[in-house]
Amino acid sequence: MPLSSFSIRLALASLLYAGTAAYAAELPAALKALEEQGLSVVGEFDAPGGLKAWGAYSGNQALAIYKLPDGQHMMVGTMIDAKGEEVRPAGLDKLVQPVIAKDMLGKLEKSRWIKDGEDTAPRIVYVFTDPNCPYCMQFWQMARPWVESGKVQLRHVMVGILAPSSSLKSAAILAADNPTQALNEHSLAMLKDRSAGIKGLDSVPSDIEADLTRNEDLMMGWDLRATPAMIWQDEQGRIQMQTGASPDISERVFGPR
């Protein structure tokens, strides 16, 4: 079962499990099964209605897993109150969101990216960038006021997914003596003429090919299917994700001017 099937809409999904060992000693079999399918189980938290619950996540989505009173079944999904409104347990986000942030930011930090902006910038925005993507160049331009004022540092996680030449162009940018300058010059050229920009390498060096593959695996693993795709940590420490480059999302991504 793919990870995307784990969503808050699975309110009625139930899972059998065996064993009564405490979480600290051994996870219930259903939770082990979910972990084997790619879900990350973090720990227990207090849930409304006297239910025992575990917090888990897939990508940047926190999920609640509830143990039913019969002790034989568990449910993954959304709890609804008498008004038909979603009840989101406070303990869930408190438990899971810091783990999500540490996991995703740790993976992004280890990816191959190009820095654009000051190291002292209070906000870091990772952006999956394809050199053939005109919207990536629009996003680069949109970010200039925040980057140049020192408020935001962009970290371009280069990918090559839009066209056969994308990997060759990404490789050329990454292999440049100054990758930041190469990306900036490419972005400016593309904004003037989409057929312009950096010339791709004849072939992708093996080390860069491996890095691009890892970057693309990260992107697809988080169900990000278009570029530019941005990931950042907001003021509350929660991971946020956004795709597209429309001007109306600028303050959401970059913060106030």
Separation of alpha carbons 30 and 19, rounded Å: 10
pLDDT at 71: 67
Structural tokens at position 157: 């996680």
Q: Which of 23-32, 45-54, 61-70 has the lowest mean pLDDT?
A: 23-32
Q: Point out the least confidently predicted range of 53-67, 70-84, 225-239, 240-254.
A: 70-84
| Cα–Cα distance for residue pair 219/164, rounded to 1 Å | 18
Most confident of 20-24, 41-45, 119-123: 119-123
Confidence at residue 22, expressed as pLDDT on a 0 to 100 scale:
39
Determine the length of the chain.
257
pLDDT tens-digit readout, 55-104: 998 877 888 888 877 767 788 878 888 888 888 887 888 899 899 899 99
Whether 241 shows a pLDDT value over 90: the answer reads yes
pLDDT at position 92: 87
Adjacent-strand bridge partners of 173: none
Residue-range domains of the chain with CATH: 3-96 (3.10.450.70), 111-254 (3.40.30.10)
- CA dihedral of residues 76, 81, 82, 84 (deg, nearest 10): -80
d(CA 185, CA 206): 25
Task: Calculate mean pLDDT across residues 10-22.
Answer: 33
State yes or no: pLDDT of 52 exceeds 90.
no
Which of 25-39, 109-123, 161-175 is predicted least confidently? 25-39
Give residue-wise pLDDT tens across range 114-135: 999 999 999 999 999 999 999 9
Q: What is the DSSP-derived secondary structure letter of residue 162?
A: S
Strand order in the sheet with 152-158: 113-116, 152-158, 123-129, 229-233, 239-243
